[in-house]
Protein backbone atom coordinates (compact mmCIF):
# COMPACT_ATOMS: atom_id res chain seq x y z
CA UNK A 1 0.00 0.00 0.00
CA UNK A 2 2.77 2.41 0.77
CA UNK A 3 4.21 1.80 -2.65
CA UNK A 4 0.81 2.49 -4.13
CA UNK A 5 0.68 5.76 -2.26
CA UNK A 6 4.02 6.62 -3.65
CA UNK A 7 3.14 5.79 -7.21
CA UNK A 8 -0.13 7.58 -7.31
CA UNK A 9 0.57 10.68 -5.41
CA UNK A 10 4.24 11.37 -5.44
CA UNK A 11 5.82 10.01 -8.53
CA UNK A 12 4.19 12.63 -10.75
CA UNK A 13 5.79 15.66 -9.33
CA UNK A 14 9.55 15.80 -9.24
CA UNK A 15 9.62 18.19 -6.37
CA UNK A 16 7.77 15.72 -4.24
CA UNK A 17 10.21 13.01 -5.09
CA UNK A 18 13.05 15.15 -3.92
CA UNK A 19 11.26 15.92 -0.69
CA UNK A 20 10.56 12.24 -0.25
CA UNK A 21 14.15 11.23 -0.69
CA UNK A 22 15.27 14.01 1.62
CA UNK A 23 12.78 12.82 4.22
CA UNK A 24 14.11 9.32 3.93
CA UNK A 25 17.58 10.72 4.32
CA UNK A 26 16.68 12.54 7.51
CA UNK A 27 15.16 9.40 8.97
CA UNK A 28 18.29 7.54 8.05
CA UNK A 29 20.50 10.04 9.79
CA UNK A 30 18.39 9.86 12.91
CA UNK A 31 18.63 6.10 12.83
CA UNK A 32 22.36 6.36 12.44
CA UNK A 33 22.77 8.58 15.45
CA UNK A 34 20.51 6.53 17.62
CA UNK A 35 22.24 3.31 16.71
CA UNK A 36 25.53 5.01 17.43
CA UNK A 37 24.35 5.79 20.91
CA UNK A 38 23.05 2.28 21.41
CA UNK A 39 26.24 0.78 20.09
CA UNK A 40 28.34 2.78 22.48
CA UNK A 41 26.10 1.84 25.33
CA UNK A 42 26.32 -1.82 24.46
CA UNK A 43 30.04 -1.77 24.09
CA UNK A 44 30.41 -0.03 27.39
CA UNK A 45 28.31 -2.52 29.21
CA UNK A 46 28.58 -6.15 30.01
CA UNK A 47 27.46 -8.31 27.10
CA UNK A 48 26.53 -11.23 29.22
CA UNK A 49 24.06 -9.47 31.38
CA UNK A 50 20.73 -10.32 29.80
CA UNK A 51 18.35 -7.98 31.56
CA UNK A 52 20.78 -5.17 31.14
CA UNK A 53 20.96 -5.82 27.44
CA UNK A 54 17.22 -5.86 27.23
CA UNK A 55 17.06 -2.67 29.19
CA UNK A 56 19.61 -1.09 26.94
CA UNK A 57 17.62 -2.15 23.95
CA UNK A 58 14.51 -0.53 25.31
CA UNK A 59 16.48 2.57 26.07
CA UNK A 60 17.81 2.48 22.54
CA UNK A 61 14.36 2.23 21.10
CA UNK A 62 13.01 5.10 23.12
CA UNK A 63 15.97 7.24 22.32
CA UNK A 64 15.59 6.44 18.67
CA UNK A 65 11.96 7.47 18.72
CA UNK A 66 12.78 10.77 20.31
CA UNK A 67 15.55 11.34 17.85
CA UNK A 68 13.26 10.58 14.94
CA UNK A 69 10.84 13.17 16.13
CA UNK A 70 13.63 15.64 16.60
CA UNK A 71 14.72 15.06 13.04
CA UNK A 72 11.21 15.47 11.84
CA UNK A 73 11.25 18.85 13.48
CA UNK A 74 14.54 19.72 11.81
CA UNK A 75 13.16 18.64 8.50
CA UNK A 76 10.18 20.86 9.08
CA UNK A 77 12.47 23.80 9.61
CA UNK A 78 14.34 23.03 6.43
CA UNK A 79 11.16 22.76 4.45
CA UNK A 80 9.93 26.07 5.76
CA UNK A 81 13.05 27.73 4.45
CA UNK A 82 12.74 25.89 1.18
CA UNK A 83 9.18 27.00 0.73
CA UNK A 84 10.17 30.58 1.20
CA UNK A 85 12.80 30.14 -1.46
CA UNK A 86 10.38 28.53 -3.84
CA UNK A 87 7.85 31.28 -3.34
CA UNK A 88 10.44 33.90 -4.06
CA UNK A 89 11.37 32.18 -7.26
CA UNK A 90 8.07 31.26 -8.63
CA UNK A 91 6.46 33.40 -11.19
CA UNK A 92 3.11 33.98 -9.69
CA UNK A 93 4.09 34.46 -6.13
CA UNK A 94 2.79 31.29 -4.65
CA UNK A 95 4.70 28.19 -3.96
CA UNK A 96 4.24 25.23 -6.25
CA UNK A 97 3.77 23.01 -3.30
CA UNK A 98 1.96 23.70 -0.11
CA UNK A 99 3.18 22.95 3.34
CA UNK A 100 0.53 20.31 3.81
CA UNK A 101 1.65 18.47 0.73
CA UNK A 102 5.16 18.68 2.00
CA UNK A 103 4.04 17.32 5.32
CA UNK A 104 2.41 14.42 3.61
CA UNK A 105 5.40 13.68 1.44
CA UNK A 106 7.80 14.01 4.33
CA UNK A 107 5.71 11.62 6.34
CA UNK A 108 5.71 9.13 3.51
CA UNK A 109 9.45 9.53 3.18
CA UNK A 110 9.99 8.76 6.82
CA UNK A 111 7.57 5.91 6.68
CA UNK A 112 9.01 4.33 3.58
CA UNK A 113 12.49 4.42 4.93
CA UNK A 114 11.58 2.98 8.27
CA UNK A 115 9.43 0.35 6.61
CA UNK A 116 12.17 -0.54 4.19
CA UNK A 117 14.69 -0.90 6.93
CA UNK A 118 12.37 -3.02 8.96
CA UNK A 119 11.25 -5.29 6.21
CA UNK A 120 13.82 -5.69 3.60
CA UNK A 121 16.14 -8.11 5.27
CA UNK A 122 13.13 -10.11 6.25
CA UNK A 123 11.97 -10.25 2.70
CA UNK A 124 15.36 -11.27 1.46
CA UNK A 125 15.49 -14.09 3.94
CA UNK A 126 11.95 -15.06 3.08
CA UNK A 127 13.08 -15.84 -0.43
CA UNK A 128 15.27 -18.61 0.80
CA UNK A 129 14.26 -21.99 2.09
CA UNK A 130 13.24 -22.38 5.68
CA UNK A 131 10.46 -22.84 8.11
CA UNK A 132 8.94 -20.03 10.04
CA UNK A 133 9.18 -20.23 13.77
CA UNK A 134 10.90 -23.55 13.94
CA UNK A 135 12.42 -22.90 17.32
CA UNK A 136 9.17 -22.31 19.07
CA UNK A 137 8.74 -18.77 17.93
CA UNK A 138 5.53 -17.63 16.50
CA UNK A 139 4.63 -18.97 13.13
CA UNK A 140 3.08 -15.76 12.13
CA UNK A 141 6.37 -13.91 12.21
CA UNK A 142 6.36 -12.81 8.64
CA UNK A 143 2.74 -11.93 8.54
CA UNK A 144 2.78 -9.86 11.65
CA UNK A 145 5.96 -8.17 10.57
CA UNK A 146 4.31 -7.20 7.35
CA UNK A 147 1.27 -5.79 9.08
CA UNK A 148 3.33 -3.99 11.63
CA UNK A 149 5.47 -2.43 8.97
CA UNK A 150 2.46 -1.28 7.04
CA UNK A 151 0.86 0.28 10.04
CA UNK A 152 4.09 1.99 10.89
CA UNK A 153 4.43 3.47 7.44
CA UNK A 154 0.94 4.84 7.57
CA UNK A 155 1.50 6.15 11.03
CA UNK A 156 4.59 7.98 9.94
CA UNK A 157 2.62 9.57 7.15
CA UNK A 158 -0.10 10.75 9.49
CA UNK A 159 2.35 11.85 12.12
CA UNK A 160 4.07 13.91 9.49
CA UNK A 161 0.88 15.75 8.72
CA UNK A 162 -0.01 16.23 12.34
CA UNK A 163 3.45 17.29 13.30
CA UNK A 164 3.79 19.87 10.59
CA UNK A 165 0.37 21.18 11.32
CA UNK A 166 1.28 21.54 14.94
CA UNK A 167 4.44 23.37 14.08
CA UNK A 168 2.62 25.67 11.71
CA UNK A 169 -0.01 26.68 14.18
CA UNK A 170 2.14 26.47 17.24
CA UNK A 171 -0.05 23.85 18.81
CA UNK A 172 2.44 22.26 21.08
CA UNK A 173 0.05 19.73 22.39
CA UNK A 174 -0.33 18.30 18.90
CA UNK A 175 3.37 17.78 18.70
CA UNK A 176 3.43 16.21 22.10
CA UNK A 177 0.60 13.96 21.09
CA UNK A 178 2.57 12.75 18.07
CA UNK A 179 5.58 12.01 20.19
CA UNK A 180 3.54 10.23 22.78
CA UNK A 181 1.83 8.16 20.11
CA UNK A 182 5.10 7.18 18.57
CA UNK A 183 6.46 6.12 21.91
CA UNK A 184 3.31 4.20 22.62
CA UNK A 185 3.47 2.31 19.36
CA UNK A 186 7.09 1.41 19.80
CA UNK A 187 6.45 0.47 23.36
CA UNK A 188 3.60 -1.75 22.37
CA UNK A 189 5.92 -3.74 20.17
CA UNK A 190 7.68 -4.80 23.29
CA UNK A 191 4.76 -7.09 23.87
CA UNK A 192 5.76 -9.12 20.87
CA UNK A 193 5.31 -12.02 20.30
CA UNK A 194 2.08 -11.45 22.08
CA UNK A 195 0.78 -9.90 18.94
CA UNK A 196 -2.55 -8.83 20.18
CA UNK A 197 -0.79 -6.46 22.47
CA UNK A 198 1.04 -4.67 19.73
CA UNK A 199 -0.92 -4.89 16.55
CA UNK A 200 -4.31 -3.98 17.88
CA UNK A 201 -3.33 -0.81 19.70
CA UNK A 202 -1.22 0.21 16.77
CA UNK A 203 -4.09 -0.08 14.38
CA UNK A 204 -6.38 1.76 16.72
CA UNK A 205 -3.87 4.54 17.04
CA UNK A 206 -3.47 4.60 13.32
CA UNK A 207 -7.20 4.98 12.80
CA UNK A 208 -7.24 7.81 15.30
CA UNK A 209 -4.29 9.51 13.69
CA UNK A 210 -5.82 9.08 10.28
CA UNK A 211 -9.05 10.70 11.33
CA UNK A 212 -7.24 13.52 13.03
CA UNK A 213 -5.00 14.19 10.05
CA UNK A 214 -7.96 14.08 7.75
CA UNK A 215 -9.81 16.63 9.78
CA UNK A 216 -6.77 18.83 9.94
CA UNK A 217 -6.34 18.70 6.20
CA UNK A 218 -9.74 20.21 5.77
CA UNK A 219 -11.79 17.17 5.32
CA UNK A 220 -14.97 16.46 7.10
CA UNK A 221 -17.50 13.72 7.42
CA UNK A 222 -19.47 15.39 4.72
CA UNK A 223 -16.60 15.36 2.28
CA UNK A 224 -16.02 11.75 2.99
CA UNK A 225 -19.58 10.88 2.34
CA UNK A 226 -19.63 12.73 -0.91
CA UNK A 227 -16.43 11.09 -2.01
CA UNK A 228 -17.63 7.64 -1.21
CA UNK A 229 -20.93 8.12 -2.92
CA UNK A 230 -19.19 9.58 -5.93
CA UNK A 231 -21.13 12.74 -5.92
CA UNK A 232 -19.62 15.73 -7.53
- Which residues contact other proteins by CB under 8 A? 13-15, 17-18, 21-22, 24-25, 28, 31-32, 34-36, 38-39, 42, 57, 60-61, 64-65, 68, 86, 89-91, 96, 113-114, 116-118, 120-122, 124, 141, 144-145, 148-149, 152, 185-186, 189-190, 192-193
Considering only CA atoms, which of 147, 148, 139 is closest in space to residue 189? 148
Name which of 109 and 165 has its Cβ closer to other proteins: 109
- Residue 66 contacts residue 179 (beta carbons within 8 Å): yes
Q: How far apart are CA 49 and CA 222, in angstroms?
A: 57
Cβ 91 to other proteins shortest distance, Å: 6
SS3 219: coil
**CA pair distance 13, 82, nearest whole angstrom:** 16
The CB-of-224 to other proteins minimum distance in angstroms stands at 29
CA–CA gap between residue 167 and residue 69 (Å, rounded): 12
Nearer to other proteins, 189 or 217 (CB): 189
Q: How far is CA 159 from the centre of its chain?
A: 7
Return the number of the residue (2 or 185) whose C-beta is nearest other proteins.
185
Residue with smaller CB distance to other proteins, 144 or 217:
144
Amino acid sequence: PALGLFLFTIARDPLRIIILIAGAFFWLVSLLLSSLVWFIAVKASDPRDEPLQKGLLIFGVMFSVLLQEAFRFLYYKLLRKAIEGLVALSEDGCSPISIQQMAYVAGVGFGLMSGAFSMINLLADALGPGTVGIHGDSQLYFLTSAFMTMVLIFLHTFWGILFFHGCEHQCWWEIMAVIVMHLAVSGSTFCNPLYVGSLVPSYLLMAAAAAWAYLLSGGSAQNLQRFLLCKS
